Structure 1
Amino acid sequence: MADIRFEIINKLGVLAEGAKGWKKEVNIMSWNGRKAKIDVRDWDEEHIKMGKGITFSKNELKALKELLNELDIDELDIE
């Protein structure tokens, strides 16, 4: 498996913290030297190990923001 290179360009915030200290973070990241994207994933305390995550381009992030703004989150049947 090829090495994956990443650079956290800007830490935007923490969404949650697990019992073992891992944090679900929102960051602006570059993967393998590519153009930066918004990234949401779990990280260990040292930002060495990571969980599965999802990245968004600027257009995808705008679409997600519009969709979330239209939702009444309190009415959703979720935890």
Structure 2
Amino acid sequence: MAKLSYDILEKFGSLSTNKSGWELQLNFVQWGDNQPKFDLRSWSPDNSKMGKGLTLSHEEIVALNKVLTAILSAEHAPIVDNDTVVEKTEETDTHPKWGRLNDM
């Protein structure tokens, strides 16, 4: 089996670390001779081994940012008392039915 060649061009950050030290990282990686992409996956502590992950183009990460911004902005929206009747508007239809991610 041929060795997979990659070069981590930039490390943006670690999202979490498991008990064995593997980190879920967001990096900018060049896989082989391909165009570098944003890469979200788990890596061993010395970055010699990797887990399953996904790669995103610039356009895809911009779209992901828009989706995450919409989700997280709902977390900061005022929570409406369930006993209060609220008229539906276009703006309320664009927000999720839950007020905070922790409400799920």
Q: TM-score, normalised by structure 1?
A: 0.89
Deviations 1:10-63 (A, max 9, x none): 011000000000011000000012111100000011111110001100000011
For structure 2, the 5+ residue unaligned runs are 76-99
Match of 1:3 in 2: 3
Match of 1:17 in 2: 17
Amino acid in structure 2 at the alignment position of 1:29 = V
Greater per-residue helix proportion: 2
For structure 1, the 5+ residue unaligned runs are none
Greater per-residue strand proportion: 1
Q: TM-score, normalised by structure 2?
A: 0.69
Structure 2 Cα separation of the partners of residues 2 and 60 of structure 1: 29
Match of 1:67 in 2: 67
Q: RMSD across aligned C-alpha pairs, in angstroms?
A: 1.4
Q: CA deviation at 1:65?
A: 0.5
Structure 2 Cα separation of the partners of residues 37 and 69 of structure 1: 21
Structure 1 Cα separation of the partners of residues 60 and 2 of structure 2: 27
Larger radius of gyration: 2
Match of 1:55 in 2: 55
1:45 equivalent in alignment to 2:45: yes
Identity %: 32
Q: Which has the higher contact order (CA 8 A, sep 6+)?
A: 1
